[in-house]
Amino acid sequence: MVSAPSFAETDSKPVFVTTNESISQSVPAVAVEPLPPVPQSSSDSAITAAPAEEEDTGRIQTRSLDKLVSQQAVPATLDKETECLAASVYFESKSEPLEGQLAVAEVVLNRAKSGGRFPPSVCSVVFQKGQFSFVRGHGFPPIARSGIMWKTAVAIAQIAMNDQWDSRASKALYFHATRVRPGWNRVRVAQLGNHVFYR
């Protein structure tokens, strides 16, 4: 006779005892299909990055703006237009979220493409009198070009110039910091980080 543990005496649930007696019972057969073979990888890495999704327009859209920024190669020298756009991103929004930095770049590009409302090139938009407070005459203050903020600004400029990401402020022509209230009579497009964007 097997004695049950003391906690079983107070339990009203039945106690099942397992014995060594064999029970003969028929079990239905189950058809098992083999798994498809795993293709051999050319690399030793078990984890690979998810592929970018190609859209109908031929643009490659990655899953995140952060990833797209990290994929940009920063050239040793920049053409003048990219330099001007990256500088505007750097001085106006380097501490902002990436989407806010991209929106600043979009404003400069939209102005250059506005068909006469603003000057016709990126650099002429950036150096237009009274538009950007960081401009010093016809130059920029010193830039820490080896720093991550400059490299990010260059990447954002490249993404904007190549139209690789859809910005929520893609139609914006103006922006201001949230701490100021200019009283503009313009259509508000978005607020991204510490900037409000208008068209």
In a domain, 148, yes or no: yes
Give the Cβ contact number of residue 81 at 10 Å: 18
In a domain, 33, yes or no: no
- Map tokens 């690789």 to a residue: 164
* Mean pLDDT of all residues in 61-71: 84
pLDDT per position as a tens digit, 108-165: 999 999 998 999 999 999 999 989 999 988 889 999 999 999 999 999 999 999 999 9
In a domain, 7, yes or no: no
Reported confidence tier of residue 58, pLDDT bands at 50, 70, 90:
very low
Contact 158, 82 (CB under 8 A): yes
pLDDT per position as a tens digit, 71-97: 999 998 999 999 999 999 999 999 999
Range of the structural domain that residue 99 is part of: 60-170
In a domain, 126, yes or no: yes
In a domain, 32, yes or no: no
- Give 152 or 39, the one with higher predicted confidence: 152
pLDDT given for residue 69 in this prediction: 97
In a domain, 140, yes or no: yes
Q: Please tell me the total count of domains within the chain.
A: 1
CA angle 147, 153, 155 (to 5 degrees): 105
- Map tokens 């600004």 to a residue: 153
pLDDT given for residue 12 in this prediction: 46
pLDDT per position as a tens digit, 179-192: 999 989 999 999 99
In a domain, 93, yes or no: yes
Residues 6+ apart with CB under 8 A from 168: 99, 103, 189, 190, 192
Give the Cβ contact number of residue 191 at 10 Å: 15
In a domain, 122, yes or no: yes
Q: What is the 3-state secondary structure (H, E, C) of 142-196?
A: CCCCCCHHHHHHHHHHHHHHCCCCCCCCCCCCEEEECCCCCCCCCCEEEEECCEE
